[in-house]
Amino acid sequence: MKSIQTLFIIMLMYNLGFSQVYNGDKNDINIILKNAQNFSKYVMASDYDMIGKSYTKDAKIFPSKSKIIEGTESIVKYWELPEDVQIKYHKIEPSEITIVDDTAYDYGYYEGKTKKSNDKEISWKGKYVIVWKKIGDDWKMYLDIWNGI
């Protein structure tokens, strides 16, 4: 019996350590989660058109160790990779998403792998904050801030 209690406590602590908090309309939360997953797919596929469409027209990104980049064209240019470089893996893992009216904030962790021209793979991870704006029935990234850990 004691081992079952210990196992239960360990499982509970593990789940609490990785819990996610979602505040707001469930349908809107699901759209944001799906859009974040799709963004990762677009990054891995080097689909720059869809990367651009993931952001609002007046979006801004705040890459680590870089100036603020504004507007779709400049944001797409930032994401464009040299021909012999590929993002092999990209994942956004939200810790919290909170929706207030037509704005939402989302923060958490990201991770990925880049394949360089010499076939060497580099793993990376970090933390992020995204501010989403509701455009019609969809949610798009308005502010996208990240840095490595």
Residue 32 lies in a domain: yes
- Is 60 a domain residue? yes
Q: Is the pTM of this model over 0.95?
A: no
pLDDT tens by residue, 80-122: 999 899 999 999 999 999 999 999 999 999 999 999 989 899 9
Q: Provide the CATH number for the domain around residue 139.
A: 3.10.450.50
Residue at 5 is within a domain: no
Residue 7 lies in a domain: no
Structural domain includes residue 106: yes
Encode pLDDT of 50-71 as tens digits.
Answer: 999 999 999 999 999 999 999 9
The number of distinct structural domains making up the chain is: 1
Q: b/e map of 42-64 (b: 16 or more CB within 10 Å)?
A: bbbeebbeebbbbbbeebbbeee
